[in-house]
Amino acid sequence: MRMKAAVLREQGLPKPYAESRPLSIEEVELDPPGEGEVLIEVAAAGLCHSDLSTIENLRPRKLPTIPGHEASGIVREIGSGVHGLKPGDHVVSVFVSACGECRWCGNGKPNLCPTSTASKAAGTLASGARRLRLAAEPINHYSGLSVFAEFAVVARNSVVRIDPDIPLETAAIFGCAVMTGAGAVFNTAKVTPGALVAVVGLGGVGMNAVLAARVAGAARIVAVDVQPAKLALAQELGATEGFLATEPGAVEAIRDATSGGLDIVIETAGSLKAMEFAYAITARGGSTVTAGLPDVSHRFAVPLSAMVAEERSIRASYMGSCVAPRDIPMLLDLWRRGRLPVERLVSGRIPLADVNAGFDRLSEGAVLRQLLIPSL
């Protein structure tokens, strides 16, 4: 079938993207789903900073590709051998297509499935196939999803079925920002009631960490960003206080206000500076949990001896350490009960044609989640 999609041919073009147009809206060919694959009609796709980092060339990818890895949609066709899904079902996308058979899948860590990492790097679906073409030229799949498009063919394990009464636009954000931010709190850090928590970087991912820290019963939730408006919203969503990372003496001010730092600090900014800040405000005995994905060349240095003497730990969190078929329904249930009001994080609904300007806004730090609605 033919469909409209946002194609990325070159990384690292200059800003503003509304002028350099790294994503071009083109008519591309999408082949039908093969064995173990499904065709979905994309209802909404969120603009995540990871897509922006791809556009900026901080994370090299096989080109051309169609980005987008956070979406909701409706199943339109199923390939042979697909179980548990039928046309008409509503789904949320998952950016790791777990094989279900490897050591990591078997150990309850499907978010780390190396089969998925390999197919991502190759620009294919989990099966090794490509279903996207521009005439004869193959287009690479992005995280097995490529949802900045009207339709997508994906592996069965790249989607989780959701209840049909959940608004699809709200559901889209669960595919990345909610799993990553809330999962970092619940699964990776395992925040317990009374914990002193900070979140550094209050974007779509970080705000979900704030919401989840509140659900987990954290006694203090310190919100840190470089934009004053983000601090104000975080406090409305449950943060107990806010600090600007750019304010001179901010680290000392936070350490003083918390009598020695935080038990758990979650870094969701995606920069080395933010990680250094997060480590500096972590208390002795505490954990710094990083979920940001900065430039692949960046290195983080720690004073080893002090780290030992203070029993500090550094943890990393990918897709919120989630088991998607278990955690997406759990997180949606929290949303249903008003505990994760993620609608507050939607900054706008935009048509495919506005995608480049949308990434300008994300890059300026002015917005949270913008939803691309291909049918607009």
Ligand X SMILES: NC(=O)c1ccc[n+]([C@@H]2O[C@H](COP(=O)([O-])OP(=O)(O)OC[C@H]3O[C@@H](n4cnc5c(N)ncnc54)[C@H](O)[C@@H]3O)[C@@H](O)[C@H]2O)c1
Q: Least distance to Zn ion from the beta carbon of 183, Å? A: 12
Q: Which is nearer to ligand X, 69 or 214 (CB)?
A: 69
61 binds ligand X per the rule CB under 6 A: no
Using CB under 5 A, pick the residue from 38, 71, 96, 113 that binds Zn ion. Answer: 113
Backbone angles phi, psi at 322, to 5 degrees: -85, 145
Stretch that binds Zn ion, among 86-94, 97-105, 139-147, 312-320 (CB under 5 A): 97-105
Using CB under 5 A, pick the residue from 8, 47, 99, 179 that binds Zn ion. Answer: 99
Closest CA to 243 of 283, 196, 217, 281: 281
110 binds ligand X per the rule CB under 6 A: no
What residues contact residue 330 under an 8 Å CB cut-off, 6+ apart? none
268 binds ligand X per the rule CB under 6 A: yes
Size of site (CB under 6 A) for ligand X: 34
The answer to whether 92 and 159 have CB atoms below 8 angstroms apart is yes
Residue with tokens 């300026």: 364
What whole-number distance in Å separates Cα of residue 348 and Cα of residue 287? 35
49 binds ligand X per the rule CB under 6 A: yes
3-state helix, strand, coil in the chain (%, to 5): 35, 25, 40
Type of residue found at 63 = L
Q: Identify what 113 binds: Zn ion, ligand X, none; CB under 5 to 8 Å per kind.
A: Zn ion
176 binds ligand X per the rule CB under 6 A: yes
Residue with tokens 């979905």: 40
- Per-residue interface string for the shown chain with ligand X, residues 227-246, x marking contact by CB under 6 A: x--x--------------x-
Half-sphere exposure of 56 (CA within 13 A, CB side): 17
Q: Least distance to ligand X from the beta carbon of 63, Å? A: 19
Stretch that binds Zn ion, among 78-86, 91-99, 184-192, 320-328 (CB under 5 A): 91-99
3 state SS of 146: coil
